[in-house]
Structure 1
């Protein structure tokens, strides 16, 4: 009986430590590794991999993140993205920051750019995102990645690419079956939107964490025109933002956490460092341990 009691204590201790490991900053970092995940039109598309050091866990969750920049700028080495990846790795995650084709570099992505071109831009970025995920899945054994615990995220344009790939895959990919049926554990969106929330179904209703200003002047908080273009302008296209996406998830009884910033604009596409403890807590409880929480926070 005594041995059984000790075994139970050891099991409980392991379970608690396994859950808390992804909240506490207890790890040092290995040297960041840069890999090329695809080459397109002569351009090497790269990603940076951040890992915990001296971590005995053999299967770790992975966070794959796409930077913002209007599909015209930005970098995976942006200080905020690097800091987030380092924070995640210190908690025991494998964290990945990816580059992708900046198809609007030196060009407009506003109301003077035709709607069909915007859709094509979303598609190309979503394709790059899926190629990066595919690459990380292929090399999972090198980094001890648990492919049942893939968390994906992005900021602004990066969030649009990721959200469209996850929730609007039938719109983004003519042959979406060419991509593996990835088991996404969750999405992390900073001021993102999708083309059509009606395409979110029970099959692709991935839990999510969303940050968005209610008066975002570029990417709509609910359902509104991209960049608030007028109907007569070439770039007029309706998008469904965080509010509309989470309403759909709520209807499908899917977990989500939405931070709404009253009167906030597009500045909430920035990394929410003040709220990361709550974000990582949600990651742990919902994305990694399967709890069903629906949380809305107004600021």
Structure 2
């Protein structure tokens, strides 16, 4: 155990010396400071304007944190590959309710939590764009990314602004060049249109029992439960993007569960090669990768 602790410390220390990290407060809501960690390459130049991944962690809207070890490792991957990585905190509105995001959580509460997570993410994106010169980011090359609950927030921010936000004009300047959703879903995929569709990376297990792979209820709650809320998962989103002629990279695992919400480090090179072709070279790429059980 002692050597394991030492190795973890050395690993974290290596990550920290290979990139710069600065923490900013992007909003204060209900006396809660919402912060973001901005990771930049150590060799970044003063006049650089780099692409960015704006990341929202998972945790069922009641747990998780922006500096989980895997999230920090992902930020390291980004800075090593010419990106700025930004990992945000947001309001974990289920944290103190004691009911979790399952079938005992009323649909109205779930929808409000989705709404507030969407707004927090949009506020973070707006802050990044407003401070683009200081942060040295390219506002035209922001990739929205998230895992599980974070993926739901990110997909809603990218595609369902007009469903969740009353005053969308305040976010007119917020544009996303692409999206990454690990085990995510949306309330209604019909809000994905030709006007807002962007190159999207989707990872999902066909047997995910929390966030549906296709069209099904959140946590597969029965119709008579408080938490009955129908969602459109990755399969529905990929089908929608396919029909719209928009680029997507859909990684599905047959029999896979919610572990597909974990950052797919072995697949990151392929993911960012997809974005390079779809965003920077304007290629139409529609890829589905099926992993057998």
Q: Fold match, TM over 0.5?
A: yes
Q: Does 2:86 correspond to 1:91?
A: no
- The residue that corresponds to 1:150 in the other structure is 142
Could you say which residue in structure 2 is the equivalent of 1:14? none
Correspondence for 1:166:
158
- Alpha-carbon distance in 2 for matches of 1:245, 1:42: 36
Mapped partners of 1:226, 1:270: distance in 2: 19
Alignment coverage as a number of residue pairs: 272
List per-residue Cα deviations over 1:25-68 (Å, max 9, x = no partner). xxx84421000000001110000001012234722111100000
Q: Does 1:227 align with 2:216?
A: no
Give 1:87 shift. 0.5
Question: Equivalent residue for 2:37?
Answer: 48
Q: What is the root-mean-square deviation of aligned Cα atoms in Å?
A: 1.2
- Superposed counterparts of 1:61-80, under 5 Å: 61-80=51-70
Q: Residue 290 of structure 1: CA displacement?
A: 1.9
Gaps of 5+ in 1: 1-27
In the alignment, is the contact (CA less than 8 A) between 1:149 and 1:288 conserved in 2? Answer: no
| TM-score, length-scaled by structure 2 | 0.90
For 2:175 and 2:29, how far apart are their aligned partners in 1? Answer: 26
Superposed, 1:119-268 pairs within 5 Å as 119-268=111-260
Match in the other structure for 1:101: 91
How far residue 160 of structure 1 moved from its aligned partner, in angstroms, is 0.3
Shift of 1:182: 2.3
Looking at structure 2, the residues matched to 43 and 114 of structure 1 have their Cα atoms a distance apart, in angstroms, of 24
1:150: Cα distance to partner? 0.7
Q: Distance in 2 between matches of 1:179 and 1:272?
A: 30
TM-score, with structure 1 as normaliser: 0.89
- Name the CA distance, whole Å, in 1 between partners of 2:200 and 2:206: 18
For 1:253 and 1:181, how far apart are their aligned partners in 2? 25
Q: CA deviation at 1:294?
A: 0.4
In 2, the alpha carbon distance for the partners of 1:190 and 1:278 equals: 15
Structure with greater Cα Rg: 1
Aligned counterpart for 1:32 among listed residues 21, 34, 59: 21
Contact 1:67–1:158 (CA under 8 A) maintained in structure 2: yes
Find the residue that maps to 1:184 and give its secondary structure: coil
